[in-house]
């Protein structure tokens, strides 16, 4: 029961800091002496610290509490198709160091490089600080209990165990200080911990991640839903058109082949002359969005066409799951002001009207890569997830 109350206190401090003990007591419904005892334990554990005095309401000024970002460090790793990012984070989720390196497609070579790069990053950690744990996010179907990639079409990996090398190199224990999740669900967890789904912890929501592919993280009752065989949320492989382009999954016309970043870039290149396309071959989504903001009609046209398909897929999600909130992650979220009207137009025409009542569709408010913040969140969430009490 104490763990239950500690988790609630930590969540309240994270969401409403700076906050006093009295306010915590009133919010939870416990007496101030119980709260003081809980806070004392959290301060001694280095999770919370006192940060100045608040305004007096007639008695002594209350001491205000915040999450302590000084005593522990979390290592977050997001393995991307082209680049892998390693970051160091405070307990409050603030990234203070980050490095990147190309993702080697050979698993053995990659694991060797990963352990070397993590070792280099750990040189930036003060020896007096406690390492909270390692969180790893990666694309594909992931066995989180074994730290293994079952299948990743983008990396062309099958049955690749990541955990073994990290356990051996750094003396970690899977499930205690080493955690794995696929990038889609990691991005969803980031939204629950630090983003737009903080207020939806006990509700139903969907986080859409668009990068080299497209996936959806489903949150039911404030919890990530993974499915019986860990395969829930594969809306990216719902076919919008059975005669459409072939997808990496083997089907045709999947939502992913119309809305992924490569699809949007290829769409833009198809609007150019042969010479223009050749010189623009290396353009990325950030460059494409920048061109659209500068008034480039072909870049704008490509984004709006993607927005049309995005709206169609979102309508399927709405009709299937009836969520309270849908959050968009990835480069397209940074172009939301350019595509929002078209997405909403399609959704209004295709989704069932009762399911649209009070629905919010928003771009991610997380400035950092949501998959990276999700990797960090895998570690931090063990302190914030409220345990079930019989």
Residues 212-241: tens digit of each pLDDT: 999 999 999 878 898 988 889 999 999 999
pLDDT tops 70 at residue 389: no
- Is the pTM above the cut of 0.85? yes
Q: What is the CATH number of domain 199-365?
A: 3.30.420.40
Rounded CA separation 361/347 (Å): 10
Residues 6+ apart with CB under 8 A from 256: 213, 214, 236, 237, 247, 263
Rounded CA separation 333/258 (Å): 16
Residues 267-299: tens digit of each pLDDT: 999 999 999 999 998 999 999 999 999 999 999
pLDDT for res 150: 93
pLDDT for res 311: 98
pLDDT for res 390: 47
pLDDT tops 50 at residue 380: yes
pLDDT for res 387: 54
Tell me if 95 sits within 8 A of 79, measured CB to CB. no
Q: What is the CATH number of domain 72-188+372-384?
A: 3.30.420.40
Residues 156-166: tens digit of each pLDDT: 999 999 999 99
**Matching fold, domains 72-188+372-384 and 199-365:** yes
Nearest to 178 by CA among 80, 77, 68: 77
Per-residue pLDDT band for 70 (boundaries 50, 70, 90) equals confident
Q: What is the CATH number of domain 2-67?
A: 1.10.10.10
3-class secondary structure, 255: helix
What are the backbone angles phi and psi of residue 96, rounded to the nearest 5°? -120, -5
pLDDT: which is higher, 226 or 347:
347
Nearest to 363 by CA among 323, 334, 338: 334
Token pair 């990541």 is found at 162
Which residues share a beta bridge with 136?
77, 180
pLDDT for res 388: 54
Nearest to 109 by CA among 84, 126, 133: 84
Element (H or E) spanning 85, and its range? strand 83-89
pLDDT for res 194: 87
pLDDT for res 14: 81
pLDDT tops 80 at residue 84: yes
Q: For the ranges 126-130, 329-333, 382-386, which has the lowest average pLDDT?
A: 382-386
Strands of 204-255, DSSP E: 205-210, 214-220, 223-225
Note if the bond before 36 is cis, omega within 30 degrees. no
What are the backbone angles phi and psi of residue 51, rounded to the nearest 5°? -130, 75
As a whole number, the mean pLDDT across the chain is: 91
Residues 9-55: tens digit of each pLDDT: 888 888 788 898 888 998 888 888 999 999 898 888 778 888 878 78
3-class secondary structure, 60: coil
Tell me if 42 sits within 8 A of 48, measured CB to CB. yes
Rounded (5°) CA angle 376-332-326: 70
Per-residue pLDDT band for 103 (boundaries 50, 70, 90) equals very high
pLDDT for res 202: 62
Tell me if 97 sits within 8 A of 372, measured CB to CB. no
Token pair 């997808």 is found at 247
pLDDT for res 60: 80
- Please report, for the chain, the start and end positions of each structural domain, with discontinuous segments joined by +: 2-67, 72-188+372-384, 199-365
Burial (0-12, 13-18, 19+ Cβ within 10 Å), 342: middle
Distances (CA, A) of 318 to 195, 207, 260, 297, 354: 21, 12, 19, 31, 10
Which residues share a beta bridge with 130?
72
pLDDT tops 80 at residue 198: no
pLDDT for res 69: 67
């Amino acid at each position: 029961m104490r763990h239950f109350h500690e988790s609630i206190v930590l969540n309240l401090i994270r969401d409403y800091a700076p906050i006093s003990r009295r306010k915590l007591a009133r919010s939870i419904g416990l007496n101030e002496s119980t709260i003081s005892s809980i806070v004392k334990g959290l301060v001694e554990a280095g999770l919370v610290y006192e940060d100045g005095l608040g305004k007096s309401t007639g008695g002594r000024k209350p001491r205000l509490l915040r999450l302590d970002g000084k005593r522990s460090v979390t290592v977050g790793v997001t393995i991307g198709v082209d680049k892998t990012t390693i970051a160091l984070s405070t307990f409050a989720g603030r990234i203070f160091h980050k490095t990147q390196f190309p993702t080697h497609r050979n698993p053995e070579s990659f694991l060797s490089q990963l352990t070397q790069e993590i070792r280099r990053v750990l040189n930036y950690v003060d020896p007096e600080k406690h390492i909270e744990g390692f969180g790893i996010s990666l694309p594909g179907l992931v066995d989180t209990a074994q730290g293994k990639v079952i299948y990743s079409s983008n990396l062309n990996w099958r049955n690749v165990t990541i955990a073994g090398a990290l356990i051996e190199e750094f003396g970690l224990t899977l499930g205690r200080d080493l955690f794995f999740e696929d990038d889609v669900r990691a991005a969803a967890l980031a939204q629950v911990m630090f983003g737009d789904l903080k207020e939806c912890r006990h509700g139903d929501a969907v986080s859409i991640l668009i990068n080299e592919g497209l996936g959806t993280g489903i949150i039911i009752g404030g919890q990530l839903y993974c499915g019986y065989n860990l395969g829930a949320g594969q809306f990216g492989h719902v076919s919008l058109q059975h005669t459409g382009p072939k997808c990496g999954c083997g089907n045709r016309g999947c939502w992913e082949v119309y809305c992924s970043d490569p699809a949007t870039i290829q769409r833009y290149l198809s609007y150019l002359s042969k010479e223009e396309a050749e010189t623009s071959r290396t353009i990325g989504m950030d460059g494409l969005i920048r061109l659209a903001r500068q008034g480039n009609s072909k870049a704008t046209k490509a984004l709006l066409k993607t927005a049309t398909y995005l709206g169609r897929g979102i309508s399927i999600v709405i009709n299937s799951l009836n969520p309270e909130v849908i959050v968009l992650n990835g480069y397209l979220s940074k172009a939301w002001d350019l595509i929002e009207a078209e997405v909403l137009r399609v959704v209004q025409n295709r989704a069932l009207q009762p399911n649209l009542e009070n629905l919010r569709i928003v771009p991610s408010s997380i400035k950092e890569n949501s998959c990276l913040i999700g990797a960090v969140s895998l570690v931090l969430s063990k302190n914030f997830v409220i345990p079930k009490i019989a």
